[in-house]
Chains A and B, each alone.
Chain A
């Protein structure tokens, strides 16, 4: 990848990342040659169906891939430092301090036997020199800033005493505590009630903006992304199939897979004739066919798609797509 789509210097630059899982039944190439850039203050949506390797990208950046998984190649440059090659004790200082992560299910991402206060305090103890009183003040401040009242009392409470939405607020507070520069949010609203999803998203966006941080929002839900992010990267079978600014991607995507994802959003604003679903299922990632991985489910597939793997290339406006016959380049309705 030689093209540099950003004018600003990127905070994070992922280059040809490969994270593979060596299972008994074969090698799962969960992330295969993925590249993207993220500038300071930018929010990127990482989108795809479940099993598409989105979460693995997040865990790879933090160096939290456990066996049988392994980063096989590529670079993860944070301010020029390659995290893919960083030793564990260096990564430990980066986790939480430089890059924080928000998990999918707030019901399970907090330790049930420790108080909220202890779990918040742990972050500050690890990454700052603050004394106990200062850490406590910071925790209370942080809880208040994510909209939790009576923060002082809440520090003594246990996770099970909070609702799901409240817990996710706590998780966000923990993530923001040490002023990280990058937040990786892995499906942060999927497990929540629809009614609080957008509250949480707004909260995250505001927090990220207040701290001047960047964020990668990993999700399968394009509707969620479009409200929050600046740009989108779409993954399919562990590979980037399309990326570009959010407006371009949502209004007129050039990859048929992205089109399919957008058409399956149940939203009257899009005025599509009917709600459609992408036919078929994700192919067995251990045993990918030659050519384009999406061709069996693609309405535009032609003979070439079975022979040659498409490369990511510019299509229109800010868009890059890995497709031999991208939408909007003639030949389509």
Chain B
């Protein structure tokens, strides 16, 4: 277990390093950020000076090592726009993003798994067909459009929920959360539902496929031959086996949620790091984009690691090596 953890940690570092190289290279091709920080009527000398201050006059390799050195020292650069450390900007907005991501994941999982199990256990029944058609529709919808429709009906037409912003928050251990106030929830629900649609549909389809695969297994019939009820077989014996593929894509889906939070936050004016990313892309605020990507990469490798551990807990045949 210890050796495995060490091995995985090394892998994580390698992935993060690779991401830093790619991010750096890509950023170097996105045009000259110097024009983002200086007034439009600056003289050539002023431009040169700004370049030197930003370190843009050095060679690419040099720039990379300075960049890497800074990263290792915890210096992730300063936002050109906000004149604040980029990492602070991102971390400030991380809780808001995680809030809608987590709520969306909870919504998706609690709806997808029971429906997927039902559809997998009763293939051919009318309700199962309805569920499957619905899920196919779910993966065919543009998420942002769903969000707009929700805004149109719930905020514009019926005025049940606000259309944007985050609402009241309470601090828990120094982290602001809107999940403890009614006003907070009224702001969270629409973006979280919007975000959950695609994931819900995919989790549902994977659950169904897993259950259908499992229903064919001999141990299901053997359990029934022991006198276990149809329901008992389904939930007692089938579910855990059927969920193994769901666990596999759970991590990927969490990643997708973080990615699509960028759009959802933009639509709902949700003050998370996704909206910050989109704004920073418009403004070519390079350090913020870099920090966002590095942080997201870190989150992904950690999630994947946790998923692997979860795997060994759910399936005794898999052991960590």
Interface residues of A (CB under 8 A from B): 62, 64, 88, 92-97, 100-101, 103-105, 108-114, 122-123, 126-127, 158, 160, 171, 174
Contact = CB atoms under 8 A, between A and B. Distances in A.
B226 A64 contact: no
Given A158-B316, A158-B317, A160-B316, A111 B219 contact: yes
B317 to A, nearest CB: 5
Contact of A111 (B223, B225, B227, B314): B223
A95 B227 contact: yes
B228 interface: yes
Given A103-B218, A111-B219, A111-B237, A122 B228 contact: yes
Contacts of A158: 316-317
Interface in B217-271: 217-219, 221-230, 236-237, 240-241
B75 interface: no
A112 B226 CA distance: 16
Contacts of A174: 226
B222 A110 contact: yes
Contacts of A103: 218, 221-222, 225
11 contacts: A92-B227, A96-B225, A104-B218, A108-B217, A108-B219, A112-B241, A112-B315, A112-B316, A122-B226, A122-B228, A126-B227
A142 to B, nearest CB: 14
User: When A and B form their complex, which 5 residue pairs have the shortest distance between CB atoms, in order from nearest?
Assistant: A96-B227, A108-B218, A95-B227, A101-B225, A109-B222
A185 to B, nearest CB: 11
Given A108-B217, A109-B218, A112-B219, A95 B317 contact: no
A101 B222 CA distance: 7
B297 to A, nearest CB: 32
B318 to A, nearest CB: 10
B210 to A, nearest CB: 13
B79 to A, nearest CB: 49
Contact of B225 (A95, A104, A127): A95
A320 to B, nearest CB: 30
A104 B222 CA distance: 10
Interface of B: 217-219, 221-230, 236-237, 240-241, 314-317
Contacts of A111: 219, 223, 237, 241
A127 B224 CA distance: 13
Contacts of A101: 222, 225
Most A CB within 10 A of own CB, among B218, B314, B317: B218
Nearest to B220: A111
Contacts of B227: 92-97, 123, 126-127
A70 to B, nearest CB: 15
B176 to A, nearest CB: 40
Given A112-B316, A122-B236, 14 more contacts: A62-B225, A92-B229, A93-B227, A95-B224, A95-B226, A96-B225, A101-B225, A108-B219, A109-B222, A110-B222, A112-B317, A113-B240, A122-B223, A126-B226
Contacts of A92: 227-229
A1 to B, nearest CB: 27
Residue among B230, B241, B316 facing the most chain A CB atoms (10 A cut-off): B316
A158 B237 CA distance: 14
A64 B315 contact: no
Contacts of B230: 88
A96 B314 CA distance: 27
Contacts of A109: 218-219, 221-222
Contacts of B237: 111, 114
Nearest to A174: B226
Nearest to B238: A111
Contacts of A88: 230
A112 B219 CA distance: 8
A123 B315 contact: no
Contacts of A94: 227
A171 B225 CA distance: 12
Contacts of A93: 227
A92 B224 CA distance: 8
A64 B217 contact: no
Contacts of B222: 101, 103, 109-110, 171
A332 to B, nearest CB: 43
A110 B225 CA distance: 12
Contacts of B316: 112-113, 158, 160
